[in-house]
């Protein structure tokens, strides 16, 4: 049998022991203490020793967990800089109005959440009264990521300070009339109040980390000193199960983001029940954050527990608190003192003796009410410690009771997240508990009244004075009066108009070449923010490394392996490129922070994020929606786009649907450019619309999604025909006709009709192609003319989505009695023959416009999963290569009776389809 006390092999065996005898003495001392005083005493001494070692600067691994007690002892709590009684009255009013607003709204069936703010009220109020800096002072103020389900409490506070009125509150979740309040933080719906959309849980914590990081980026690059801005993210303990919530913890620690604080409301409940029914979520989170290098502050117990901890001379109370699972803590919240005496204190003889010294009222006060997150003094201590901590981000784990002050019908009940209202009796009980001067007579016809102490009351004056001292109202979003950015030199865009001659150029490379010119612009170049998820070399962007540098707060502390090469890997404290590693989610969070800097910091930045198109929208579409909701501006670049263009990578890399997903986002302007000059025209228009002078009726709060391809092909010159520039931006223009392409359709095989005088008329078809598909379309145009006597006109469809949106707007205008023709119908009007649309995406992409095309319409696309093969084989597999287009075009003409059906059969056999 193995001796359990024997020293097992460990990594320490690899380290030199200069004095084995001394080592043995230390071990013997520990054994003696354990034997004489017990394992708990021995553990205590070891922890004190480690604490001393850390204070002395010894490099030792830290413990991942501490006891289930407050990090800051009561005796070490600082004095609150304010009037605690006054703040309690303010908080009481806000609690009341938050609950009243949701309850009144429930009569209209619109719902709402009451219990979350009830648990977190002091977490917000303490911050508003003492810590959160507004935007009217120096700098940019703080950035507040408010937990979505707590929004009623934020509205209640805005009502108290005069920013909202009763009509606003009565229109909570009723926005259609124009005076309503959105359910959650939605900047697009209430842009003067909300900065960050957070209710898509998990995105708030991820975005907060990258916002704090972007603040450092702005300061390091000399764009703006925002070193005094602090980022606060208010989160739920259940929310931390979302993978995005903890995806970037190591980044925050690695870069020492001490301008960031997470406040996790640990009410131990998620939407359906306990977060960790059989475990302890606080301890789990502490270990996770400590392991990632964060400073952890636990604020678990209120001051009522001080007496219990003083009576705990054996450590039994602390041990029992660590043993009890979270679900049982919730049960204590709803049970009487007798049950708690038996179940909690009765589990240990020492605790049973302690319980004899406690009254029932004391036990109920501790187990029902007293939590660290419900006391301003303890929250204040935690916040002060967080903002004063240097070198690492801080997480505050604040324990609360979900439904606190709402009565026993709410507190800690599993269903309280779905409970939308209080009864009149419950409101009266709440009123008495909060000591609010609201009379029974104010409850008219069973409707709970809003409460307000008066615009000139001591409470309102105190609230406004505190906010004035901290820099103005919060939360608040400010759109600064920024001058439009000057347009870059025209040369950067027109250099593509002549084409590439004999050189083959992929549109990905065309975009990179354009960016190289734009970042050199003396007026706006420094405002570009290139964002890459560890694929810069894939996209041909490595030449930007030495010229722009990769942002790193530490600079470059090593000699790069390729230092002797022209395009070496260069990191710098003022680097311009954000190379995020293999994280699309992190890259998107970067993009969101940069794209909204015009509002957050009053500094216009121009981010472009380039990624495998398959891994952008598919992985992070929720963040793209967040981007639109937050009114972000910039360029998303889906590179290596298309289902058949990226050879050999297979179905997981072959994008055939990102434009479909992008089309669902109202803020995304989706383009699939075929040629380099189209890329340049779209980027130029984006810079004008988002950063320059938007045209009347244009919303500048949009972002552009461009798909670009890695297939090197000849880039043609820009056609000189009128309307090309307009067509590129609106989504469609005629690239050429059979005649302008130098083709003379003639074939005795086809049954062409005769004009008067005997001149044969070739059948004609309109071919619409987007992106890389236009090259196969041009090949098909030649085959149709030379082998089948068919005249084909080729159109470049730069944006199926924008064509559809324009058509939808035209339909809506007709319903209003306005006569308007969709652009797609205008440009195709009178075009002879049927229309065949082709793209490297699923047919759903070009089919977006089908109902507005007056000609016979058909489409080809790459539906299904991708596969690994050559481009040619993949295109034949999906039926989108030139020969497949020819057969499809002939089939359309045969259905119209313009050619023989046998010719379609012959074409299929000739091309071996």
Residue-wise pLDDT for 185-228, tens only, equals 999 999 999 999 999 999 999 999 999 999 999 999 999 999 99
Range 254-271 average pLDDT? 95
Percent of the chain clearing pLDDT 90 (strictly above)? 79
Q: How confident is the model at residue 740 (pLDDT cuts 50, 70, 90)?
A: very high
Which H or E element spans position 767? strand 764-769
Higher pLDDT residue, 683 or 445? Answer: 683
pLDDT score recorded for residue 646: 84
The model's pTM: 0.94
Point out which residues pair with 652 in neighbouring strands.
none
Around Cβ 256, how many Cβ atoms within 10 Å? 16
pLDDT in the model for residue 601: 96
Paired tokens of 854? 């007056």
Residue 596 contacts residue 478 (beta carbons within 8 Å): no
Q: Which residues, in sequence order, are CB contacts of 778 under 8 Å at separation 6+?
A: 741, 769, 794
Cα-trace Rg, the chain: 33
- Mean predicted lDDT score pLDDT of the chain: 92
Alpha carbon distance 472, 732 (integer Å): 49
Six-digit token string for 705 = 């999604």
The strand pair at 578-579 and 528-532 is best described as parallel
Q: Return the axis-axis angle of helices 507-518 and 676-691, rounded to nearest 10°.
A: 40
The tokens describing 775, both together, are 């090259």
Residue 479 has pLDDT above 90, yes or no: no
The whole-number pLDDT of residue 413 equals 52
How far apart CA 773 and CA 875 sit, in angstroms, is 10
For residue 273, name the pLDDT band (cuts at 50, 70, 90). Answer: confident
Q: How confident is the model at residue 127 (pLDDT cuts 50, 70, 90)?
A: very high
Per-residue tokens: 46: 């070891």
CB 120 within 8 A of CB 373: yes
In angstroms, the Cα distances linking 389 to 263, 282, 346, 377 are: 15, 21, 40, 18
Helix or strand holding residue 680 (H, E): helix 676-691
Contact 568, 189 (CB under 8 A): no
Tokens of 397: 């784990």
| Percent of the chain predicted with pLDDT > 70 | 96
Confidence of residue 2 (pLDDT cuts 50, 70, 90): low
Could you tell me the pLDDT band of residue 898, with boundaries at 50, 70 and 90?
very high
Task: Tell me the mean pLDDT in the region 700-720.
Answer: 96
Judged on CB neighbours under 10 Å (0-12, 13-18, 19+), 136 is: middle
10 Å Cβ neighbour count for 189?
A: 16
pLDDT in tens, 531-549: 999 888 888 888 899 999 9
Residue that wins the pLDDT comparison between 34 and 880: 880
Place of tokens 């307000």: 452
Tell whether the model's pLDDT for residue 406 goes beyond 90: no
Over residues 886-902, the mean pLDDT reads 96
Pairing outcome for strands 504-505 and 713-714: antiparallel
Both tokens assigned to 766: 């309109």
CA 768 to chain centre: 35
Mean pLDDT of 320-325: 95
How far apart are the C-alpha atoms of 133 and 80, rounded to whole Å? 17
Is 749's pLDDT higher than 70?
no
pLDDT reading at 280 higher than 70: yes
Among 630, 552, 646, 645, CA closest to 591: 630
Q: For the chain, how far is it from start to end, CA to CA, in angstroms? A: 74
pLDDT of residue 748: 47
Instruction: Mean pLDDT check: name the lowest of 478-492, 584-598, 813-827.
Output: 478-492
pLDDT of residue 750: 47
- Rounded to whole angstroms, the Cα distance separating 855 from 869 reads 36
Q: Is 37 helix (H, G, I), strand (E, B) or coil?
A: helix
């Amino acid at each position: 049998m193995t001796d359990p006390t024997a020293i097992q092999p460990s990594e320490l065996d690899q380290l030199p022991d200069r004095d084995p005898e001394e080592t043995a003495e230390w071990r013997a001392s520990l054994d003696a203490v354990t034997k004489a005083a017990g394992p708990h005493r021995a553990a205590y001494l070891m922890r004190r020793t480690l604490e001393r070692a850390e204070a002395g600067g010894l490099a030792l691994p830290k413990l991942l967990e501490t006891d289930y007690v407050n990090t800051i002892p009561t005796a070490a709590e600082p004095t609150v800089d304010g009037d605690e009684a006054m703040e309690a009255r303010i908080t009481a009013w806000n609690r009341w109005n938050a609950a009243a607003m949701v309850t009144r709204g429930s009569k209209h069936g619109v719902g709402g959440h009451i219990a979350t703010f009830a648990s977190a009220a002091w977490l917000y109020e303490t911050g508003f009264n003492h810590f959160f800096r507004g935007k009217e002072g120096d700098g940019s103020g703080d950035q507040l990521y408010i937990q979505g389900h707590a929004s009623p409490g934020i509205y209640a506070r805005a009502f108290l300070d005069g920013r909202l009125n009763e009509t606003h509150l009565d229109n909570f979740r009723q926005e259609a009339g124009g005076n309503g309040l959105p359910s959650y933080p939605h900047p697009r719906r209430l842009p003067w109040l909300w900065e960050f959309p957070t209710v898509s849980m998990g995105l708030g914590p991820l975005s907060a980390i990258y916002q704090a990081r972007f603040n450092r980026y702005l300061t390091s690059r000399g764009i703006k000193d925002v070193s005094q801005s602090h980022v606060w993210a208010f989160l739920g303990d259940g929310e931390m199960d979302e993978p995005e919530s903890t995806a970037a913890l190591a980044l925050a620690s690695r870069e020492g983001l001490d301008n960031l604080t997470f406040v996790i409301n640990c009410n131990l409940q998620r939407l359906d029940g306990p977060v960790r029914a059989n475990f302890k979520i606080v301890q789990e989170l502490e270990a996770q954050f400590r392991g990632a290098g964060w400073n952890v502050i636990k604020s678990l117990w209120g001051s009522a527990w001080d007496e219990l901890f003083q009576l705990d001379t054996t450590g039994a109370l602390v041990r029992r608190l660590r043993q009890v699972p979270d679900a049982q803590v919730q049960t204590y919240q709803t049970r009487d003192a007798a049950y708690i005496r038996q179940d909690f204190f009765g589990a240990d003889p020492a605790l049973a003796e302690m319980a004899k010294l406690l009254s029932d009222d004391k036990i109920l006060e501790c187990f029902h009410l007293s939590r660290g997150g419900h006391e301003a003094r303890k929250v204040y201590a935690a916040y002060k410690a967080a903002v004063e901590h240097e070198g690492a981000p801080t997480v505050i784990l604040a324990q609360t009771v979900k439904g606190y002050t709402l009565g026993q019908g709410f507190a800690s009940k599993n269903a309280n997240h779905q409970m939308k209202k209080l009864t009149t009796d419950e409101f009266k009980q709440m009123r008495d508990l909060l000591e609010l001067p609201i009379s029974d007579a104010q409850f008219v016809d069973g409707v709970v009244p809003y409460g307000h102490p008066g615009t000139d009351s001591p409470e309102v004056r105190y609230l406004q004075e505190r906010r004035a001292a901290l820099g103005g109202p919060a939360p608040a979003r400010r759109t600064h009066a920024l001058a439009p950015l000057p347009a870059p030199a025209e040369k950067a865009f027109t250099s593509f108009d002549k084409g590439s001659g004999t050189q083959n150029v992929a549109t990905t490379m065309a975009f990179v070449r354009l960016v190289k010119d734009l970042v050199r612009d003396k007026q706006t170049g420094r405002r570009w923010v290139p964002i890459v998820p560890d694929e810069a070399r894939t996209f041909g962007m490595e030449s930007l490394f030495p010229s722009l540098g990769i942002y790193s707060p530490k600079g470059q502390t090593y000699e790069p392996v390729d230092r002797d090469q022209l395009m070496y890997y260069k990191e710098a404290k003022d680097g311009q490129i954000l190379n995020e590693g293999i994280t699309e989610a992190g890259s998107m969070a970067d993009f969101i922070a940069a794209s909204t800097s015009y509002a957050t910091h009053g500094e216009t930045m121009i981010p472009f994020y380039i990624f495998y198109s398959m891994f952008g929208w598919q992985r992070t579409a929720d963040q793209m929606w967040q981007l639109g909701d937050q009114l972000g501006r910039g360029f998303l670049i889906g590179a290596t786009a298309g289902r058949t263009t990226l050879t050999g990578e297979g179905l997981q890399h072959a994008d055939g649907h990102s434009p479909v997903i992008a089309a669902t986002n109202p803020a995304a302007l989706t383009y699939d450019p075929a040629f380099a000059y189209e890329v340049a025209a779209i980027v130029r228009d984006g810079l004008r619309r988002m950063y320059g002078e938007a045209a009347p009726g244009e919303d500048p709060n949009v972002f552009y999604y461009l798909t670009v391809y890695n297939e090197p092909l000849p880039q043609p010159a820009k056609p000189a025909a009128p309307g090309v520039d307009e067509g590129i931006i609106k989504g469609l223009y005629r690239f050429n006709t059979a005649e302008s392409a130098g083709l003379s359709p003639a074939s005795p095989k086809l049954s062409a009709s005769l004009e008067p005088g005997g001149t044969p008329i070739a059948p004609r078809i309109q071919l619409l192609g987007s992106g890389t598909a236009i090259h196969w379309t041009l090949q098909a145009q030649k085959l149709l003319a030379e082998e089948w006597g068919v005249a084909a006109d080729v159109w470049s469809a730069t944006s199926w989505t924008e064509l559809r949106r324009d058509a939808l707007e035209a339909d809506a205008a007709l319903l209003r009695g306005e006569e308007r023709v969709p652009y797609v119908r205008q440009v195709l009007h009178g075009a002879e023959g049927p229309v065949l649309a082709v793209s490297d995406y699923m047919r759903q992409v070009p089919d977006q416009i089908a109902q507005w095309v007056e000609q016979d319409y058909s489409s080809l696309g790459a539906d299904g999963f991708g596969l690994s093969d050559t481009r040619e084989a993949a295109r034949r597999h999906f039926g989108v290569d030139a020969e497949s287009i020819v057969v499809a075009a002939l089939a359309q003409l045969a259905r119209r009776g313009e050619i023989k059906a046998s010719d379609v059969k012959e074409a299929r056999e000739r091309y071996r389809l």
